[in-house]
Amino acid sequence: MAWKGYQKGWVALLVASALLAGCGANTANTQEAPANQPSSAVESASGGQGDSAANAGKNEEAAEEQTTRVVTDQFGEVEIPVHPKRVSALYREDYLVALGVTPIVQYYNPMWGKQDYLELEVPLFDVTGSIEAMLVSEPDLIIAAGEVDAAAYELYSKVAPTYRLPDDVLADTRTTLKVIADLLGIPGKAEQVLKDYESRISEVKTKVQASLGDEKLVVLRMNVVDQSINIFGMNNTFVGQILYKDLGLKAPAYAETMTEGNVVLSQEVIPELDADHIIMLPSNGTWEDEDNAKALKAMLASPLWKSVPAVKNGHVYQVERSYWQTGAITANFKKMDELLKLLVE
């Protein structure tokens, strides 16, 4: 499919028809889906010997072949630019930033906000609304993730070539970075970023392990609507890989045996939560918000929570939520910086 020939009005008509049929842009959730590096193949040009006109056609096909290629994503094959210039990667902007690429729009949800830590100065794309803002931004590649199902994928694909990251790719930070870098035509940049990443992990691991020893650390999230508490387990894509696998920190027994990424922590389990350190984030807003501050104060004053070693010893650390709710590269660098300040320095 030659994307250069698309006319905006025709695309808008297709999108409007899809929306009227009830196929709207999905609201992106903040839980990364569990998701092998997709295969890619440059489309081979066909042709043969012939007169000058045939040869001219063959040359045109070769020129076209150099500007696009075919890759395989979660839903099948898709033709994408070899070197895309205007890229959208909703809620995966972190990887673009790590690779030195500025996205054309940034994920935004009115109920949750955006990833402020990225400090992007680009238009916001409201994932709860229509995709008109995406049309205006004229992407030449859209990178989608687990929150985009087949119906939403079809809709995005009417705007620009859309690559849905496979589920097994999304489960691993390094693989996700490599795949996105390959899609952008800059695979070498990923290797450079990962070299720095591994070096930082090695440095932080040595310091944090020396400071904590066998003490256990867990990440909790306070849901501000009902003040329930979510516990993030070893398999959580936000923190499981970086904290427990890469940095080798120890988790409380309950978090260690969880099969889910996160669950609501029942009151009965709290006295058995043998956590020596708690990273605490709010589901929305900041800890400076009055309701969040009150809810946390009430929690820490509860007799149940006072029985937890981390609460008893004042080792509950209030953190900014947006980079603790993604397992992406830039966010993980910030987590490591914060762990050093909280646990070592």
Give percent helix, percent strand, percent coil of the chain, each to the nearest 5.
40, 15, 40
- C-alpha 222/C-alpha 112 separation (Å) is 14
Phi-psi sector, 258: left (phi>0), alpha (psi -120 to 50), beta: beta
What is the pLDDT, as a whole number, of residue 61? 55
Phi-psi sector, 338: left (phi>0), alpha (psi -120 to 50), beta: alpha
- C-alpha 152/C-alpha 135 separation (Å) is 15
Residue with tokens 């988790």: 251
How far is Cα of residue 196 from the mean position of the Cα atoms in its chain?
20
Task: Find all residues with CB under 8 Å of 259, minimum gap 6, and list them.
Answer: 233, 235
For residue 32, CA distances in Å to 35, 76, 242, 333 come to 8, 20, 14, 18
Q: How many residues does the chain have?
A: 345
- Burial (CB < 10 A; 0-12, 13-18, 19+), residue 226, is exposed
Tell me yes or no: is domain 3-190 CATH 3.40.50.1980. Answer: yes
Strands 316-318 and 277-282: parallel
- C-alpha 258/C-alpha 255 separation (Å) is 5
What is the pLDDT, as a whole number, of residue 324? 97
- C-alpha 45/C-alpha 59 separation (Å) is 9
Phi-psi sector, 203: left (phi>0), alpha (psi -120 to 50), beta: alpha
CATH no., domain 207-343: 3.40.50.1980
Give the count of beta carbons closer than 10 Å to the beta carbon of residue 50: 11
What is the pLDDT, as a whole number, of residue 9? 45
How far is Cα of residue 54 from the mean position of the Cα atoms in its chain?
47
The yes-or-no answer to whether 3-190 and 207-343 have a common fold is yes
DSSP symbols for 65-98: HTTEEEEEETTEEEEEESS-SSEE-TT-HHHHHH
Q: Where are the domains of the chain?
A: 3-190, 207-343
Residue of 107, 100, 45 whose CA lies nearest to 70? 45
Planar angle of CA 263, 269, 272, nearest 5 degrees: 125
What is the pLDDT, as a whole number, of residue 339? 98
Give the count of beta carbons closer than 10 Å to the beta carbon of residue 2: 9
Give the count of beta carbons closer than 10 Å to the beta carbon of residue 318: 18
What is the pLDDT, as a whole number, of residue 293? 93
Task: Find all residues with CB under 8 Å of 248, minimum gap 6, and list them.
Answer: 205, 209
DSSP symbols for 284-340: SS-TTSHHHHHHHHHHHHSHHHHTSHHHHTT-EEE--STTTS---HHHHHHHHHHHH
Phi-psi sector, 114: left (phi>0), alpha (psi -120 to 50), beta: beta
What is the pLDDT, as a whole number, of residue 133? 77
Provide the residue-wise pLDDT of the chain in tens; the chain has 345 residues.
444 444 344 444 444 444 433 333 333 333 333 333 344 433 333 344 445 445 555 555 554 557 999 999 999 999 999 999 999 999 999 999 999 999 999 999 998 999 999 999 999 999 999 877 799 999 999 999 999 999 999 999 999 999 999 999 999 999 999 999 999 999 999 999 999 999 999 999 999 999 999 999 999 999 988 889 999 999 999 999 999 999 999 999 999 999 999 999 999 999 989 999 999 999 999 999 999 999 999 999 999 999 999 999 999 999 999 999 999 999 999 999 999 999 997
What is the pLDDT, as a whole number, of residue 345? 78
